[in-house]
Amino acid sequence: MKTVQFGLAQISSKIGNVQANERQHIQVLEKLNGERPDFVCFPELSLTGYLLKDIAYEVVPQCQKALLRIAKKTKAGQRVIVGFVRQNNLSFIENSAAVMGDGKTIGTTSKFYLPTYGLFEEKRYFAPGNPKTDLKVFDSPLCRFGVILCEDGWHPEPTEALARLGAEVVICIASSPARGLTKSNSSNELQIESQWISILKAHAIMNTVFVVFVNRSGPEDDECFWGGSTIISPFGEIVARARKFDSDILLAKIDLDEIGQARRFTSFRDHNSKLHEMLEEL
């Protein structure tokens, strides 16, 4: 059995208050010192809050300083994922994730799909990540993994690409607000919750990888984020779930041997690149 322990830090960030959010990140890491999980994953834009609008341009320097201090709290061999705002080489800002470990920032990636519909206005403020430079598989002492951000999970390409590049775990950090109840309403399940679980299971099954979803919780302006952070196995089974509508730290172990077992009976080996070429032309 090849196990990896994840800590999903389902926190509620304060909008624009990087200093307060940094303290919360460090408190979580210190609280988990005894457990020493192999991964600690925070939600999308965990350092800044989500509904930033024009504040997004102002928090970049604060994020860079905060990341340096948070990185120093990481343990040897541990990987910590943090959501933040960064400035690219053209001076545009991006909705990004930092991968930290061994006391430093190991690398970053940025969001490819920027939702701009309903309450979402990301394309108005952020530039999209470049798959040629931002689609990355990172190494840890125990596994290879990739990171995607929220809306990227609603599209098939980022997860499939990471899996084909060798990622065993795909971590999706999100800031998903609560929307709608399911028609049956028997379990008080949110419509967005049901949709997310369906999407995460599909990614895990089709790509035979573990999918780790960490969503923020709590209110922000007029929105409320529902939490419900979840780990899905390559068989599409829910390994663990955090609470809804509340901050939570979910600790759970996964068995990487399940990936090989799942791939004995999967169509993941079949990839028709001609279909992707056709889609590109549509």
Q: Is residue 99 exposed (0-12), middle (13-18) or buried (19+ Cβ within 10 Å)?
A: buried
3-281 is classed in which CATH architecture? 4-Layer Sandwich (3.60)
Q: How confident is the model at residue 62 (pLDDT cuts 50, 70, 90)?
A: very high
Distances (CA, A) of 18 to 64, 134, 221: 10, 24, 17
So where are the chain's domains? Answer: 3-281
Inter-residue contact 171 to 79 (CB < 8 Å): no
- This prediction's pTM: 0.96
3-state helix, strand, coil in the chain (%, to 5): 30, 30, 40
**Region of poorest pLDDT, from 28-37, 60-69, 104-113, 182-191:** 182-191
pLDDT per position as a tens digit, 13-41 = 999 999 999 999 999 999 999 999 999 99
Q: Is the pLDDT of residue 47 over 60?
A: yes
Tokens of 274: 């001609």
Amino acid identity, position 51: L
